[in-house]
Amino acid sequence: MNRFDVTGKTAVVTGAGRGIGKALALGLAEAGAKVACVARTETDIREVVREIQQMGGTAFAIQADLTEDAAPEKVAASVMEKWGRWDILINNAGMNIRKQALDVSTEDWDKVVDLNLKSTFRMCQAAGRIMCEQRYGRIVNIASVAGLVALRTGVAYGASKSGVIHMTRVLALEWSKYGVNINAIAPWYFRTPLTEKLLDDPAFLQEVLSRTPSGRIGNAEDLVGPAIFLASDAAAYISGQTIAVDGGMSVYGF
């Protein structure tokens, strides 16, 4: 038996329209999972669904703004109506507003924390109700090394991702007895549509690379293997953990 196999499992990926979320949705589909692609921009996720279907996979799109109160229940209802069970949740939707701490407004703070932390919890809650009842589930929260170490111009982002990491521990404590494992992945800088402008600055890129022992920026595909592992039965005895996928950045020292 291949314990890394997710064939036939039903998965939800949030923020699936581009970047890391798109790579994770495509990766899960390639590994055999049926994938519900969730994002605010319907055209983006419909394109991801089309790519999955072209490779012979099964997928459908759910347009939702996860900061809206009704969104998690909408996702849950759509998945249950379509497939009758919910096996895997990848919480990837997130944002950042880069400002010095003295310049962060209440509106800035609320936007970042509402999407990165509050909506992640509410998606976990919606999935958890189903997964605990069916006595099986895998939840993978995309956190950040900014939740493990301090990064400049990221006070709200770092606080939200630290919250995701600790929330992951608490939910693991409560739900593991129901066969629901919940873990987190903490990426460093990856080249995505959200980071391209930053990484195109030679001085910024050099600073990032100087703190990355592997000497390179991550590609979105670098996250697919860890996510599939945590979503599979190969990780059946792992819960409440955070895996840093960061080229060694979080162990960097002088």
Positions annotated as catalytic residues are 157
Euclidean distance between CA atoms 159 and 165, whole angstroms: 10
Pairing of strands 137-142, 180-187: parallel
Report whether 85 contacts 133 (CB < 8 A): no
Euclidean distance between CA atoms 69 and 168, whole angstroms: 21
- Tell me which H or E stretch contains 244: strand 242-245
Report whether 168 contacts 182 (CB < 8 A): yes
Q: Which residues contact 37 (CB under 8 A, 6 or more apart)?
A: 13, 16, 17, 25, 45, 48, 49, 52, 59, 60, 61, 62
> Which letter, b or e, does each residue of 205-240 get, where b requires 16 or more Cβ atoms within 10 Å of its Cβ?
eeebbebbeeeebbebebbbebbbbbbbbebeebbb
Helix, strand, coil shares of the chain, percent, nearest 5, are: 50, 15, 35
Phi, psi of 96 (to 5 degrees): -145, 145
